[in-house]
Amino acid sequence: MKTVWFQVAGMCLCFAWVFCSFPPVDVDVVIQASLQNPEQVLLRLAIVGVVPGLLIPAASSLISSRPTKLVLFAVGCLLRLLGCYLSLVAFRLEDPFPLLFVSDFLMGCGTTVSLIFWGVLLHGQDIESNEKIFIASFAAVGLLVFSIGMFFSLHVVVFLFVMPLVELACYAIVCARCTCEAEQGLRRFKRAGKDFFWLMARTCIAITIVSFVWEMFATGVGALAIPKLALFGTGLAVSALVIWLFTKYSSNVGFAAAARWVLPIMAVGLLLGSFDDIASLSLACLLLAAAHASLETILRMQIIGFSRKDDFDPMRIIGWGFAAIMMGAFLGPALYHAVVPALVQPGASLVICVLAALVVISAFLFSDVGEKPAQALSQPADVVMRSVKMAEAYALSNREREVLEYLLEGRSHPYIRDELFISKSTVDTHVRHIYSKTGVKSKQELIDLSKRLAI
């Protein structure tokens, strides 16, 4: 079995565990409590893992070796198991809050460790592999959460204790077989700079918006066509399709492009949520879940992609970037519970229209500044010379010759997409034309042919 499938399985179990531990459509769980005292604010911070997400990367130079990461990953899984156990004990007490605070803090810390270390593993792989892993993972997450919500809802606790152990086994296998992640030791890294902090700020704002909208829907939704967790799982599976379409057909996979793709889906979900019939509410739940998961996943991929730039410390970039996502997941519900009770008899239609306008407008508030394609780096002289000879010999177009230069360098299709600012589908079409005109069937054959022509 290939290592990538263990990675897909491990990430699937990690996200599925989060969704089953804190059901996003169950308003009776403790994280839906009102924010009337500092303890509850701290509780939410602990749940989403913001605090450990900020602190763990700060010690990246001390935990860079694989054995250390494996040990910490195991500790994170044990914290999640201990947190689950304490939660079960807490609900038997007359005052469960103190013990729930501890259990949720442990689960938040454990989940944060897992997410950071899975992200660092992805940092060591190419863009195309990462996109495929995320898409496959969320397709699997959707299927798993749907199955648990539909058929095993009475046995969720069993899954909560089993999934971290299987995830740990998957991580251990990936670490043992992975050759792409270099040991970094006490290496000195470059500071990320203002571009990264701007990315974190926009990420936090975007997740705050979608979390606010989701909290509004989840708090007021009643009966649905199928169990809520199963329907949410279906939305997660749909998000895998949205991510695939986005990475294939969007000419820009930056922040603004993601907002323009995902937020209109959320606006439609909001409008459907204004109706009272079960069918509309069920479809709204599916669309809102798909939009939320799609945007969050795309932002995670962008953070991992940013960590490859220059000479940045991947654990710090990924850890703090993921912490911005977690902070947005905290701020959205917090703002909802702070704002909505203050409104005097808010009309449901008015609130929905305002939020829909906010979602649609926000897609245009985030400009493409910093996402325009930079001036392409000069290609090596021999690559340019070989591409010119091949273009002349096989009547390639100017755009095909541009794509050819990257192919002769061994670049992947997503890399070419990002450099030339065209969709991956367009890149695939140009590559097919190049292969057809030159009579080759693979990138290596193309490179060999160019070298023969250069002699």
Cα distance between residue 190 and residue 40, in whole Å: 37
Euclidean distance between CA atoms 49 and 17, whole angstroms: 14
Is the pLDDT confidence value at 49 over 70?
no
Higher per-residue pLDDT: 382 or 186: 382
> Contact 38/185 with Cβ under 8 angstroms?
no
Q: What is the structure's pLDDT at 28?
A: 42
* Residue 344: predicted pLDDT: 47
What are 150's two structure tokens? 């539909």
Chain centroid, CA 155 distance in Å: 27
Cα separation, 57 vs 209, whole angstroms: 26
The residue with greater pLDDT, 151 or 338, is 151
Between 210 and 350, whose confidence is greater?
210
pLDDT of residue 29: 43
% of the chain at pLDDT higher than 90: 28
CA 393 to chain centre: 44
Superfamily of domain 3-365: MFS general substrate transporter like domains (1.20.1250.20)
Per-residue pLDDT of 240-287, as tens digits, reads 999 999 999 987 787 778 888 888 888 888 888 878 888 888 998 899
Spans of all domains in the chain:
3-365, 381-454
Alpha-helical segments (H) within 276-412: 278-306, 314-339, 348-365, 381-394, 398-408
Contact 112, 52 (CB under 8 A): yes
Q: What's the whole-number average pLDDT of the chain?
A: 81
Contacts 24+ apart (CB under 8 A), 168-174: 168/73, 168/74, 168/77, 170/6, 170/7, 170/9, 170/10, 170/13, 171/10, 171/70, 171/73, 171/114, 171/117, 171/118, 172/70, 173/3, 173/6, 174/3, 174/6, 174/7, 174/10, 174/121
Residues 354-383: tens digit of each pLDDT: 666 666 666 555 555 445 444 445 567 788
pLDDT band at 437 (very low <50, low <70, confident <90, very high): very high
Would you say domain 381-454 falls under CATH 1.10.10.10? yes
Name the token pair of 66.
């694989």
Helix, strand and coil content of the chain, in percent to the nearest 5, comes to: 75, 0, 20
- The identity of residue 339, as a single letter, is V
Q: pTM here?
A: 0.85
Q: Show the CA angle centred on residue 166, arms to residues 160 and 167, nearest 5°.
A: 90
Distance between CA atoms of 394 and 60, rounded to whole angstroms? 51
- Taking only the tens place, the pLDDT of each residue in 114-155 is 999 999 899 888 888 899 999 999 999 999 999 998 888 788
Gap between the Cα atoms of 415 and 3, Å rounded: 23
Q: Please give the average per-residue pLDDT across 294-314, as a whole number.
A: 87
